[in-house]
Amino acid sequence: MWSHARVPNASGHLLPSFSHVAEVFAANFEDELEIGASFAAVINGELVANIRGGFANRATDQAWEENTLTCIYSSGKAVLSYLIAREVGEGRLDYDTPIAHYWPAFSQNGKETITVAQALSHQAGLCGIPSEMDPAAWLDWNAMTDRIAAMAPLWVPGTANGYHPQTFGYIAGELLRRTTGQSIGKLLSAYEVADDLQVICGLRPDQIARASTMRKPPRAPDLGKLNEFTKIAFLKKWSSAGSTSRESWMAAEIPASNMHADAPSLAMLVHPIANKGRDINGETVLDPKVINAALKERIRGDDLVLPFNLSWSSGLMRNTNRHFGPQEAAFGHAGFGGSCIVVDPENNLTAAYVMSKMSPSLVGDLRAVRLLNALYECL
């Protein structure tokens, strides 16, 4: 068992060769960057680091424990990408097939040729809802998928990438619902039953009780020079869920922004993408050809919504900006406030960082990058 004098409520374990990761984790606390956090890494199917510490609430009187859940915001898009890859492997989805083949109503208003891969790489032109609506509508799955199906793209699909902060989850989720007959929450619950992986979309009351409370960042994120796409995606009153209680929001399925998880569960769930298709039990669940298709670069360029030049596969960012550690060949996704998931097929490695003290970072949070750099120094 791991403990650290400089990290309150420290617990977990890690291999001795990864002790430097624990020192950097402690440094994040010493530098007053954390309230509570967890970091985990899996290599070749082995959980080599699983450490946590601090507090699960803002009042700092509730210890961060092994079963503490944390909102991972957009890091959940990496989970969605993995679920889609599983369906591609089963032959129920294909990256290069138009979404309308699976979801006929999606063909409205010029969207009939948008492929699954284009939507997952943020090329669909559906970065947000342009017309005013009740912010609580995001909690109504059918209302939102109907609205997205009826939308006209905001730019010519396939010509540019523009980050889809919320709509991504409904598009991916509806594809999965139509091919599996199950919601995102139901699909993830199967992993909870089979492998005790705590990656959850739509919390029950008992799960809400063990979820950390998030301290909001001290300032808004830097969105760069604002344009209409950025405003629609992030800054309209209805750009994200509102006019509802915290409990109602946590209980809803808004898969691109309100999944809850712990770090080891995240790293273990997506591990097959990095581990030649093998999961944590050593079972091959993804064909290498599917992994290659999932990680193939679909577009690269200045994002129309975010202030970054990005390279996208089908749902994961390629690590061209070193937002996910020093390995350029790695992939990842980040969540607003600091969380992240890293997928590195060259080293058969996945890693995840979650926390309760949010920073203004959209991607490349200092704490996460410190930990990932330390992890690679230990390889």
- The tens digit of pLDDT for each residue in 218-254 reads 999 999 999 999 999 999 999 999 989 999 999 999 9
- The tens digit of pLDDT for each residue in 101-118 reads 999 999 999 999 999 999
Tokens standing for residue 24: 């950097």
Alpha helices, DSSP H, located in 245-287: 246-251, 263-269, 271-274
Mean of the pLDDT values across residues 159-186? 98
Q: How far is it, in rounded angstroms, from Cα 353 to Cα 333?
A: 11
Report in angstroms the alpha-carbon separations of 302 from 107, 285, 299. Answer: 27, 34, 10
Burial (CB count <10 Å: 0-12, 13-18, 19+), residue 364: middle
For residue 4, pLDDT beyond 90: no
Pick the CATH number of 68-339 from 2.70.240.10, 3.55.40.20, 3.40.50.10680, 3.40.710.10: 3.40.710.10
**Long-range contact set of residues 217-226: C-beta below 8 Å, sequence gap at least 24:** 217/337, 217/358, 217/359, 217/360, 218/360, 219/360, 220/360, 221/336, 221/360, 221/361, 221/362, 222/307, 222/360, 222/362, 223/306, 223/307, 223/362, 224/306, 224/307, 225/307
Give pLDDT, residue 24. Answer: 98
Percent of the chain with pLDDT over 90: 97
- The tens digit of pLDDT for each residue in 117-136 reads 999 999 999 999 999 999 99
Amino acid at residue number 88: V
Burial (CB count <10 Å: 0-12, 13-18, 19+), residue 20: middle
For residue 193, pLDDT beyond 90: no
Q: Assess contact for 346 and 324: CB atoms under 8 A.
A: no
**Long-range contact set of residues 225-228: C-beta below 8 Å, sequence gap at least 24:** 225/307, 227/304
- The tens digit of pLDDT for each residue in 54-78 reads 999 989 999 999 999 999 999 999 9
Give pLDDT, residue 1. Answer: 80
Give pLDDT, residue 6. Answer: 87
Tokens standing for residue 40: 């985990």
Mean of the pLDDT values across residues 185-200? 94
